[in-house]
Chain A
Amino acid sequence: MDNYSLQSPPFEPGKDAVLPQELFTRAEFSEQAGEDTGFTNYSYWRSTLNTFFKSHLVKVIVVLVALLVLFTLLFPVLTDKDPYQVALSARKWNLPPSAAHPFGTDGVGRDIWARVWHGTRTSLILAVAVAVVEVGIGVIIGAVWGFYRKLDTLMFAIYNTLTNVPSTIYLVLIAYIMKPSVFTIMIALVATGWISEARWFRSRILALREADYNIASICLMTPIRRIISRNVVPHLMSLVIMSAALTIPASIGSEVFLSYIGVGLPPDLCTLGNLVNQGRSAFLVYPYQMIIPTLILCFITISFYVIGNKFADASDPRNHI
């Protein structure tokens, strides 16, 4: 609909159409009408969430992930199936899926249904813990690094040392020298991942630090604490959420890698990585033993990857209306 044409009165300039003379008198003037520039009501977080949930894919994924997390967290409470219960009789080994064992049993008769949900739980907790610790350390060190230029030499030396060498090497090494446990894996992942997060947040913080509004706050003598909480953190929040979401698939991937190599994780612990690797050895005969944990694992990694990226898009004000 072109709104401009409607506004032209029905006559041509120069021709003598007569308009009501009343129209040619002074109109009332309102200062506020002149101030109205036509900007719309806007709040950053509302627009971010609106943009984020605009995609149906995101809605579905978020709901499914929420259900999955809830289910795996409650699983040990809801059922008493023991994921470590070995069956002594060979008849109960490598059973295909059935009512008693929805996902079948493995080579020593352990219930895969129970093992999978326990494994998902462990892996998710591990990945989330890694994400929180890694991004947390990254933000803090990145902030300090960004605010104190003198640290540059030291931090870049550390950065080069840690990133010039492929992180898998360090990962393997750390996992190798420590006692296998969930905690070891966490240390190994955080130790190799924090520096990239720190570097990334440093560049963000450098940009934020130079922003005029922070200088304005300094001129107003706003305490550093409040500059951080009111000026810096709100701008970092979306970045933190995004990088935490993207760390999760990476952590799960590394866990599978380490369990393949056979370092870091106790081999009998239920994790998705261990389940996938154990299933792999039986794959040719009993494919479901690998397929089921793999599907769940892929669902988790893809979901968090998509969520992270979509959120990154949604949190960019340029994509807001």
Chain B
Amino acid sequence: MQYQDRKKIFSARDVVVKFNLRGKVLTAVRKASLDLYEGETLAIVGESGSGKSVFTKSFIGMLDKNGYMESGSLALDGQEYPGTQSEKEWLNIRGKKIAMVFQDPMTSLNPVKTVGQQIREVITWHFKTDKETAKQEAIELLRLVGIPEPEQRYKQYPHQFSGGMRQRVVIATAIACKPRILICDEPTTALDVTVQAQILQLIKELKDEFGMSVIYITHDLGVVAHVADRVAVMYAGQIIEHGLANEIFKDARHPYTKALLLSLPQLGEKGRDLHAIKGSPPNLYKEIKGDAFAPRNPEAMKIDFLYEPPMFQVSDTHFAKTWLLHAQARPYTDALDREGIKDTEPLRSSRPAEGKEPPLLSVKNLTVNYKLGRRTFCAVNDVSFDIHAGETFSLVGESGSGKTTVGKAIMKICHTNAGEIWFQGKQVNKKLARNELAAYRQAVQMIFQDPMASLNDRAKVEYIISEGLYNFKLFKKDAERRQKVSRAMESVGLMPEYLTRFPHEFSGGQRQRIGIARSLVVEPSLVVADEPISALDVSIRAQVINLLNRLKAEKQLTYLFIAHDLSVVRYISDRIAVMYKGRLVELAEAEALFRRPLHPYTRALMDAAPVPDPEIERDKKVAVYNPAAHDYTREGPAWLEAEPGHYVRANRAELADWLKITHGRGAGV
């Protein structure tokens, strides 16, 4: 079916949303417009602060109390409705016609009411159905969203459900009144990759079954490729480009969209820098003139700094808001095309010497138990691996896999119950003498996940970066310290003038770079990076990865990279280990692992991570890992070497099977 022939069911025109923040008026959405067609999934992509969430919330009057829609019009089924109506008037739209699902399923349900009551109340409220019928309908909905034994589950409370199951309940509640439009605000961001795949699948199925249109808000281009028919890209409160998924992924026109797609770590070529976007996304406080992306775009034209570009049409369905599409820009774009996409800088290789030297860090049979009330919970169970000097070793697993605990044990910030950790020929997971401990602490540093939490807000950047220098007495004169601090600032791309500021004044990516400077200024040899990019905006992830790679080569570092997403670590890792529920299940060279993943869990994890390519994602079916499928009755699992350097936890019979299945899996993703 031609897209234009579809019926338009919703449109928003020139929406402006402002916020009052202590006497200041901030503009979050600046004249954004969108159309939604029947039966489609429209993905809105953008980073934090782009206004994507605020924009969609204004469709159903769910702005925070200090926010208001200043102008613009909304229309559902051709019928206009005001964006500033009373709470009572909104009730005709909310739930019944437009429903919404939030990011965090753990907080979306009332903890003291049964899930059944919470679904049933929507039905009785909107349709005045009697309780018994509504109950039957609710149970039917629970069945529909894939909750086993819905009659029993109906009577249970939210805390008795897992995160994924709760999100299913939330979705069941949202679709209870068969709304025309379902808005999903990052509904899988708080969930594990494998659970995410299932929820995405569910939303797809429900959309078709109910004939709904879906607006899907996300920052993850992989997810977009998986769910979207059409994509709208938001930046600094505006929709800067929109079109069919293929058009956006294969033929993006706005420099921001282009740069974003190019910067994805999944597309990174080993041995070269990523195509990183420079700078940081603007926040609400910044006054914006012209094209908001221009200050971060090295190819921006002069006009971009002066005038805001209008929306140009590329095809029937594809529009972009950039001056590059103006007729007069032809000479300039032609010149750019001739230049082509410049190759990024090659990385200086720092491949480890092959197994000759003893490993830098050696973890042997590490076990960590936690006490939860009366029960003991085994977070890390008999984990062993070596890390060689100069390599990037990645530890990948979902929440609860114990990957972070391994990192903490290495950092000596958590206890170990059994096993040994050796560093440079010395055992370190025991009581160390003060000078030994100091030497170890200096040699092994950590980079944290959340840059908002990892810097002390009450200290100036100068103190934060100097902290290690003081502790390890790495300078003779104060001038030397200041010089080192300035150099560290510059090495992470920040001006030394910023040293007198407080962390509040920096964006997430900048804070993460300050954190990196703090760790690296003491010149460690091993860096434990605990999901260093997962809390960052998509447009700055590549920057930080490039930075980490460059510093690694410059300072001859070794990385232990902890992550939950296999596709991201492929680019940076030399070797990858996969963890599941406290155990290592597979370990191999990065390329070998992707060429031939053996363990079914690794395969599930690999499949589950959505790839930013709509053609691959469209018909992808995700296999679910079932831990009960192993047959360990005859022979228990062991740590077996399947190929040279490729280890897997299995018994011999199943390993032979896996080798057979994966034979010739070859070049696939």
Residues of chain A whose beta carbon lies under 8 Å from any beta carbon of chain B = 2-4, 7-9, 12-14, 16, 18-19, 21-27, 29-44, 211-213, 215-223, 230-231, 234-235, 317, 319-321
21 chain-A/chain-B pairs, Cβ below 8 angstroms? A3-B287, A4-B31, A4-B288, A7-B290, A24-B328, A29-B298, A35-B495, A37-B283, A44-B457, A44-B458, A213-B455, A213-B456, A216-B455, A220-B445, A220-B471, A220-B522, A221-B441, A222-B471, A230-B456, A230-B463, A321-B24
For B308, what are the chain A residues with a Cβ–Cβ distance below 8 Å?
4, 7-8
Distance in angstroms from B611 CB to nearest chain A CB is: 29
Contact, CB under 8 Å: A27 / B304: yes
Q: Do the beta carbons of A29 and B300 come within 8 Å of each other?
A: yes
Q: Is the CB of B300 within 8 A of A24?
A: no
Instruction: Given A38-B283, A221-B438, output 10 extra A-B contacts at Cβ < 8 Å.
Output: A2-B70, A3-B288, A23-B302, A23-B306, A25-B301, A35-B280, A35-B495, A36-B295, A37-B506, A39-B505
B310 contacts partner chain A, Cβ-Cβ < 8 Å: yes
Q: CB within 8 A of B300: which of A26, A37, A235?
A: A26
Residue numbers in A under 8 Å from B24 (CB-CB)? 321
B522 proximity list for chain A (CB < 8 A):
220
Decide: A24 and B323 in contact? CB cutoff 8 A: yes
Docked-complex contact B411 and A219, CB < 8 angstroms: yes
B residues in contact with A7, CB < 8 Å: 289-290, 306-308
Q: Which of A26, A212, A218 contacts B450 (CB under 8 A)? A: A212
Q: Min CB distance, B32 to chain A, in Å?
A: 11
Q: Which residues of B contact A215 (CB under 8 A)?
A: 413, 446, 448
Q: Which of B432-484 contact A (CB under 8 A)?
A: 437-438, 441-442, 444-446, 448-450, 453-459, 463, 467-468, 470-472
Q: Which of B438, B449, B459 has the most CB of A within 10 A?
A: B459
In the assembled complex, B624 has its CB within 8 A of some CB on chain A:
no
Q: How near does chain A come to B41, taking the closest CB pair, in angstroms?
A: 28
Q: Shortest distance in angstroms between B430's beta carbon and chain A's nearest beta carbon?
A: 17
Interface 0/1 of B316-331, CB less than 8 Å to A? 0000000100111101
| CB <8 Å contact, A18 and B463 | no
Q: When the two chains form their complex, are residues B518 and A27 in contact, meaning their CB atoms are under 8 A apart? A: no
Contact residue among B21, B449, B453 (Cβ-Cβ distance under 8 Å from A213): B453
Partner of A26, one of B27, B301, B454, B467: B301
Residue B493 at the chain A interface, CB threshold 8 Å: yes
A223 to chain B, nearest CB (A): 7
A4 touches B30 (CB 8 A): yes
Establish whether residues B299 and A26, one from each chain, have CB atoms under 8 Å apart when the complex forms.
Answer: yes
What interface size band does chain B fall in?
35 or more
**For window 238-297 of chain B, which residues contact chain A by CB distance below 8 Å?**
278-290, 294-297
CB distance from A234 to the nearest CB of B (A): 4
A216 surroundings in chain B (CB, below 8 A): 446, 448, 454-455, 515, 518-519
User: Do residues B441 and A219 form an inter-chain contact, with CB atoms below 8 A?
Assistant: yes
Closest partner residue, chain B, to A230 (CB atom): B459
B67-82 vs A: 1/0 string, CB under 8 Å?
Answer: 0001000000000000
- CB nearest neighbor in B for A221: B441
Cβ-neighbour of B283 out of A26, A39, A43, A211 (below 8 A): A39
Chain A residues closer than 8 Å to B106, beta-carbon distance = none
A107 smallest CB distance to B (angstroms): 55
The complex places the Cα of A35 from the Cα of B506 at a distance, in Å, of 9
Pair A34/B312 contact, Cβ less than 8 Å: no
A234 to B464 CA separation, bound complex (whole angstroms): 14
Question: Within the complex, what minimum Cβ distance (angstroms) separates B428 from chain A?
Answer: 13
Q: A24-B332, A27-B300 are in contact. Are A34 and B280 (CB under 8 A)?
A: yes
A212–B454 touching, CB < 8 Å: yes
**Binary per-residue interface labels of chain B (407-439) against chain A in the complex, 1 for a CB within 8 Å, 0 otherwise:** 000010100000000000000000000000110
* B639 on interface, CB distance cutoff 8 Å: no
* B280 surroundings in chain A (CB, below 8 A): 34-35, 37
In the complex the two chains form, is B453's CB within 8 Å of A212's CB? yes
- B342 contacts chain A at the CB level, 8 A cutoff: no
Please, which residues of chain B bring their CB within 8 A of the CB of A30?
A: 295
Minimum C-beta distance from A15 to chain B (A): 10
Residue B510 interfacial (CB < 8 Å): yes
B529 CB to nearest A CB, Å: 12
Q: Is the CB of A24 within 8 A of B326?
A: yes
Q: Which residues of B contact A (CB under 8 A)?
A: 16, 21-24, 27, 30-31, 70, 278-290, 294-308, 310-313, 323, 326-329, 331-332, 411, 413, 437-438, 441-442, 444-446, 448-450, 453-459, 463, 467-468, 470-472, 493-495, 501-502, 504-507, 510, 515, 518-519, 522
Query: Please, which residue of chain B has its CB at the minimum distance from the CB of A211?
Result: B453
Q: Pick the contact of B285 from A21, A31, A40 — CB < 8 Å? A: A40
- Give the contacting residue for B303; candidates A13, A23, A33, A34; CB below 8 A: A23
CB-CB under 8 A from B441, the residues of chain A are: 219-221
List of A residues within 8 angstroms of B445 by Cβ: 219-220
From B507, which residue of chain A is reached at the shortest CB distance? Answer: A37
Are A231 and B456 CB-contacts (below 8 A) given A24-B328, A219-B441?
yes
Residues of B within 8 A of A230 (CB): 456, 458-459, 463
List the A residue with the shortest CB-CB distance to B16.
Answer: A2
Q: Once bound together, how far apart are the Cα atoms of A40 and B504, in whole Å?
A: 9
A234→B438 CA distance, assembly (Å): 26
Contact A234 B283 (CB under 8 A): no
Closest chain A residue to B494 by CB distance?
A: A35
A217 to B326, CA, bound (A): 53
**Complex Cα–Cα for A3 and B307 (A):** 11
A36: B residues at CB distance < 8 A: 279, 286, 295
Residue among A13, A24, A34, A41 making CB contact with B278, cutoff 8 Å = A34
Q: How far is the CA of A12 from the CA of B327 in the complex (A)?
A: 13
Q: How far is the CB of A205 from chain B (nearest CB, A)?
A: 15
- List B contacts of A231 (CB < 8 A): 456, 458-459
Give every chain A residue within 8 A of B457 (Cβ-Cβ): 44, 235, 317
Least CB distance from A192 to B in Å reads 32
A42 to B502, CA, bound (A): 7
Which of A30, A39, A42, A222 has the most CB atoms of chain B within a 10 A radius of its CB?
A39
Closest to B438 in A: A221
User: Residues of B contacting A39 with CB < 8 Å?
Assistant: 283, 285, 504-507
A12, B502: Cβ atoms closer than 8 Å: no
A239 CA to B509 CA, complexed, in Å: 30
* A18, B328: Cβ atoms closer than 8 Å: yes
Chain B nearest CB from A91 CB (Å) reads 62
- Is B471 a contact partner of A25 (Cβ separation < 8 A)? no
Do A25 and B302 touch across chains, with their CB atoms under 8 A apart? yes
Chain B residue with the shortest CB-CB distance to A13: B310
Check B453–A38 contact: CB distance below 8 A.
no
Q: Contact check, B278 vs A31: say whether CB atoms are below 8 A apart.
A: yes
CA–CA, A44 and B505, complex, Å: 11
What distance in Å separates the Cβ of B322 from its nearest Cβ neighbour in chain A?
11
- Whole-angstrom distance between the alpha carbons of A16 and B299 in the complex? 24
When chains A and B are docked, how far (Å) is the Cα of A18 from the Cα of B329? 11
Query: Which residues in B have their C-beta under 8 angstroms from that of A3?
Result: 27, 287-289
Contacts A37-B507, A44-B457 known; A27 to B294 CB distance under 8 Å?
yes
Docked pose: A220 CA to B522 CA in angstroms: 9
Given the interface contacts A39-B504, A213-B455, does A24 sit within 8 Å of B16 by beta carbon?
Answer: no
Q: How far is the CA of A23 from the CA of B242 in the complex (A)?
A: 25
CA distance A215 to B414 in the complex (A): 11
Q: Which residues of B contact A27 (CB under 8 A)?
A: 294, 300-302, 304-305
CA distance A19 to B437 in the complex (A): 67
**A22 x B302 contact (CB < 8 A):** yes
Inter-chain CA distance A16–B30, complex, in Å, is: 26
Query: A102 to B288, alpha carbons, bound, how many Å?
Result: 65
Is A13 within 8 A of B27, CB to CB? no
Contact partner of A31 among B22, B327, B442, B493, CB < 8 A?
B493
Question: Closest CB-CB distance, A122 to chain B, in whole Å?
Answer: 37
The answer to whether A23 touches B285, judged by C-beta atoms less than 8 angstroms apart, is no
Closest to A218 in B: B413
Instruction: Give the CA-CA distance A25 to B30 in the complex, in Å.
Output: 26
Bound Cα distance A219, B515 (Å): 12
> Chain A residues near B518 (CB, 8 Å)?
216, 220
State in angstroms the CA–CA spacing of A94 and B300 once bound together: 88
A216 to chain B, nearest CB (A): 6
